[in-house]
Amino acid sequence: MHTVVVGTSGVTASDVLAVARGGALVELSAEALAALTAARGIVDALAAKPDPVYGVSTGFGALASRHISQELRAQLQRNIVRSHAAGMGPRVEREVVRGLMFLRLKTVCSGHTGVRPEVAQTMADVLNAGITPVVHEYGSLGCSGDLAPLSHCALTLMGEGDAEGPDGVVRPAGELLAAHGIAPVELREKEGLALLNGTDGMLGMLVMALADLDTLYKSADVTAALSLEALLGTDKVLAPELHAIRPHPGQGASAANMLAVLQGSALTGHHQDDAPRVQDAYSVRCAPQVAGAGRDTMAHARLVAERELASAVDNPVVLPDGRVESNGNFHGAPVAYVLDFLAIAVADLASIAERRTDRLLDKNRSHGLPPFLADDPGVDSGLMIAQYTQAALVSELKRLAVPASADSIPSSAMQEDHVSMGWSAARKLRTAVDNLTRVLAIELYAATRAIELREGLAPAPASQAVIDAVRAAGVQGAGPDRFLAPDLAAADAFVRAGELVTAAEKVTGPLQ
């Protein structure tokens, strides 16, 4: 089993994916343990003084003005976790919760939170045992951290609330800890607050979305190339010298991918045949420009994610000179903005893919293909309603592209009067990524069928490899009408698993 070692300087996206999705084990480095011990010494020294220090010897948020006596501080830390574990709605996915816990552990190990080493070790032990706290959809405003989601995780460390065991069964957290020999933590000064104040949920979802979109943008280049072939389009617009004079990196990469897929095709370049065309439609000709802009958006989002992965997000924070200072680093705006930006790019990529699919099905624009790619048009409806499904998905994606981060709703008696809504932005991006996968699956389904209907003209070797692979995966080709949903589900699984990219790359080599 792969092990991720957590130090004081942050983690990588690969670390997050390994723990969240791959079930990797977590280990605390000696450096992290030393930093935890040193920071805790500072907190303990401040806790012993009569002067109030926020998060150590005061209440929280709008209640920060009350000084809490020493005998009530353990209760204060327990209470903040219990009261903030107020999420509602459906359960959040296991990979999201594991990413959330791991990223909170990352900040705890920075030595800026004042949490004791044994609390950090318990966090690692829970992850390693495969125990996943029950976290709900609603409860974070993306400011002061992903409060309710993180609180439900902290509740599990205390042996309270519900969690899912490695067997997938939800049980009381105390029972699960006991079954794995893990002692519940008794929180002390600062620790309850330190477990809740972070952008960890939205950051984890950003990292996972970027990993998924890296595959989906390559997939979109492949489906666009297949549609171009099926429509007898020209690949001249993909020439490197054309994209060099508008040097957006993503655009050049997308054009290069499409050109690699189309290498050796007998279907391209028929503009001056029976139905002359001067140019292809925008949805075909501008595919690299649209997909490329999305790629460049991803590059910016990845930069933000890398900065956040290297950050210690807490309030207050322990500084090396012994100060414990309040700050606003928990505000999710940097992450929220790029989550929303990605949702816009995803919606547009899906939109242009749907337009290509519609063109394939329209006898007036498909350059000789049968209406709806039907076997016997009129008797058969072909892919008419598959395009309806694709259109419904695209319409939903446009709604999901409305930014969450443009909204703010005040909370905590106006102390927290501006929030990022980053968690909401992350949740809708996850739905958007799922829907984009389905949209590309439908384009793949239509384009491969259309290419097969172009009798006498051989597709590019990479295109043929994709067709062979998708047929082997259970997605049927042309023929009379049949129950279509299973075909679409198989195409979706093919794209989702990255098999579309794998099939193309067996001929093209690695795509960009």
- Which residues are annotated as catalytic? 54
With a CB cutoff of 8 Å and minimum separation 6, the contacts of 314 are 107, 112, 113, 193, 194, 197, 198, 329, 330
13 in Cβ contact with 309 (< 8 Å)? yes
Radius of gyration of the chain (CA): 26
315 in Cβ contact with 144 (< 8 Å)? yes
Distances (CA, A) of 314 to 47, 95, 113, 116, 405: 18, 23, 7, 15, 21
Amino acid identity of 80? I
Q: Which of 504, 349, 342, 344 is nearest to 439 (CA)?
A: 349
Can you say whether residue 12 is alpha, beta or left, with left for phi > 0 and alpha for psi between -120 and 50 degrees?
beta
149 in Cβ contact with 87 (< 8 Å)? yes
Q: CA-to-CA distance for 366 and 472, rounded, in angstroms?
A: 27
Q: CA-to-CA distance for 270 and 21, rounded, in angstroms?
A: 46
Q: CA-to-CA distance for 313 and 108, rounded, in angstroms?
A: 9
Length of the chain: 512
Distances (CA, A) of 68 to 79, 85, 256: 13, 22, 63
